[in-house]
Chain A
Amino acid sequence: MNEAMAGAIWLGLGVYLGAGLLAGLGVILFGLKRLAPEAGRIPWRVRLVILPGLAALWPVVLARLAGVRPAEDRP
């Protein structure tokens, strides 16, 4: 691996996770009611615990928020 490639990987990861952190903050502020309606009010400590996951998996979470869900998982 040369420096340019390693730099690209590093940059890509940083941009992805950075965007995820922003999206995740949005989700724990405004999106949880829609994602987990039956959970009621989710305490702040728990919101912080799920934030790293949101930063990593934000595309899936945004898709779920938009109503995309595999058929076999629909409640």
Chain B
Amino acid sequence: MAAGYSIVGWNGFKRVYDGMLALGLSLFVLAHFGAGLLSAPAGQHPSEIQLLIRATGAAAFSLLTIILCIGPLARLSPRVLPVLYNRRHLGVACFFTALVHAGLVVLWYHGFSEMNAIISLLTSNPRYASFGGFPFESLGVLALLILFVMAATSHDFWNHVLGPRLWKWIHMSVYAAYGLLVAHVMLGAVQGETGLAQAALAGGSALLVTGLHVVAGRLEWARDRTTDLPPEGEDWLDAGPAEAIPNGRAVILVPPAGERIAVFREGAKIYAVANACRHQGGPLGEGRILDGCIVCPWHGFQYRPEDGCSPPPFTEKIPTYRTRVTGGRVFVEPVPQPPGTPMAPSMAGEAG
């Protein structure tokens, strides 16, 4: 959280994780390179630089595909959560791998001309009006710019300075980058010598990412549908029987308007807070209460359920909501109180 910054909040797990990431990337590039050498007819394989360009491009693209699958997978199975915690390391690694790919292209194909290498890259294929012959390199340039902005703003400092909304908006542009890259790889394959297999692989990756998002989205939608709408004339939301909320956990309500609400039970005490974490919008209602604090399932930010404040020295605050228990059922007023407003819990055992 925002008290004191370091480059990365290092711990043993992250070191192992990053070690495995570096090893995996190196092995991938080596294997791709080797396969390129061996699969070409004897004596006419492409130059080593060209093989390296393909291997690093494929590594960066595959890494981005994995990154985009992690989000929906974590919704389908909590076992994926530890990978989600450190997704930004994958993102930064993806950018640097893609940078090597692009750097080699610029040096190898455009570095020897009289012209500025970047201008040469943008103009060497002028068929911008053509579909199949479109200069796919330009799509890669755009995607690389997006990846750069995302990698450069992945530190928590940026979250804080930009605000959660703008930060999230910037990081959603990863989908635009991925779309551009799918086109980059497909057009590149069609125009180049790697051909249909390469295009099919890129198309398959895009289908996988889309499919997983659709499945996870439908699951969420089905969950949202189960929120009971308030009866006529009643504007408090019905969160169901108190004992149906597992101890230390929450149910998530979707008000007709406004943000989602997480309704927690801790013993007999019922609290309601905003569902979105101040850090990167993680679903607090999928977390649990530990040592008296709600812990975000994504990266572990903590909030006190009674006032929505992070424990000192941290300063994050989320909105709280009024609750009451009537006939054993929990009701929540869908009006967010200003972030950090103290709110006495209602008691699940209360008669009324």
Stretch at the interface among B59-67, B155-163, B289-297: B155-163
Query: Would A73 and B119 be within 8 Å (CB), given that A36-B157, A42-B5, A46-B5 are in contact?
Result: no
User: SS class of chain A's interface: helix, strand, loop or mixed?
Assistant: helix
Give the Cβ gap from B99 to chain A, nearest Cβ, in Å. Answer: 12
Enumerate B6-27 residues with CB–CB distance to A below 8 Å. 6-7
* CB contacts between A and B, total, < 8 Å: 94
Bound-state CA distance A56–B155 (Å) is 14
Is A72 a contact partner of B165 (Cβ separation < 8 A)?
Answer: yes
Bound-state CA distance A6–B165 (Å) is 33
Interface code B137-151, partner A: CB below 8 Å = 1, 0 otherwise? Answer: 010000000001101
- Within the complex, which residue of A3, A43, A73 is in contact with B163, where a contact is CB–CB below 8 Å? A73
Q: Which residue of A lies closest to B170 (CB)?
A: A57
Is A6 a contact partner of B6 (Cβ separation < 8 A)?
Answer: no
Is B118 a contact partner of A10 (Cβ separation < 8 A)?
Answer: yes
Number of interface residues, chain A, beta carbon within 8 A: 32
Number of interface residues, chain B, beta carbon within 8 A: 35
CB of B2 closer than 8 Å to a CB of A: yes
Query: Would A9 and B122 be within 8 Å (CB), given that A1-B128, A57-B153, A75-B317 are in contact?
Result: yes
Bound-state CA distance A38–B313 (Å) is 9
CB of A35 closer than 8 Å to a CB of B: yes
CB of B164 closer than 8 Å to a CB of A: yes
> Given the complex, which residues of A lie within 8 Å of B7, measured CB to CB?
45-46, 49
> Given the complex, which residues of B lie within 8 Å of A35, measured CB to CB?
161
Query: Would A56 and B149 be within 8 Å (CB), given that A39-B4, A75-B317 are in contact?
Result: yes
Enumerate B89-134 residues with CB–CB distance to A below 8 Å. 115-116, 118-119, 122-123, 126, 128
Give the Cβ gap from B170 to chain A, nearest Cβ, in Å. Answer: 8
CB of A18 closer than 8 Å to a CB of B: no
- Within the complex, which residue of B116, B158, B164 is in contact with A10, where a contact is CB–CB below 8 Å? B116
Bound-state CA distance A38–B166 (Å) is 21
Bound-state CA distance A71–B126 (Å) is 46
Query: Would A1 and B165 be within 8 Å (CB), given that A40-B3, A50-B157, A56-B152 are in contact?
Result: no
Interfacial residues, chain A to chain B (CB-CB below 8 A): 1-3, 5-7, 9-10, 35-36, 38-40, 42-43, 45-46, 49-50, 52-53, 55-57, 60-61, 64, 69-70, 72-73, 75
Interfacial residues, chain B to chain A (CB-CB below 8 A): 2-7, 115-116, 118-119, 122-123, 126, 128, 135, 138, 148-149, 151-153, 155, 157-158, 160-166, 313, 315, 317, 339
